[in-house]
Amino acid sequence: MKFAFPVENEKGLESIVYGHFGSAPAFVIVDDGTGNYETIHNNDAHHSHGMCNPLKALGNKIVDAVVVGGIGGGALMRLNSIGIKVFQGASGKSVKDNMELLKTGKLLEFLPSQTCQGHDHSGGSCSHV
């Protein structure tokens, strides 16, 4: 399976998982079968609030799941509608740490009631994180 992790700084598996999907500067995509990963830039970082295009953000890369600190309702619904699960990542933890938590079933899937209702793109975090 392939997992996408929104990140602020590109440090590979040591990158800290970002607080918002849509405004993350980059994504680390990890193939848990091979352990290989790649970092891609967010191609939709400067969208209007509520207008995130998740596939554009991911550069049309195919992933099975996303692990993030926070996400808007529209992005969550768009990802879920094409079969991509979204898990709430552990705040302040690296991609590597979050992969371990995911493998052991310790990360919960996002529910629509847990999504961000708005943010200013400057801090990268939401009140629920």
Least confident residue range of 25-39, 51-65, 91-105, 110-124: 110-124
Give per-residue pLDDT as tens, 106-126. 999 998 666 655 544 444 444
Distance CA 6, CA 18 (A): 5
Domain count, the chain: 1
User: Does the residue 121 lie in any domain?
Assistant: no
What is the domain extent for residue 91?
2-114
User: Does the residue 126 lie in any domain?
Assistant: no
Q: Please say whether the beta carbons of 13 and 28 come within 8 A.
A: yes
Give per-residue pLDDT as tens, 7-22. 999 999 999 999 888 8
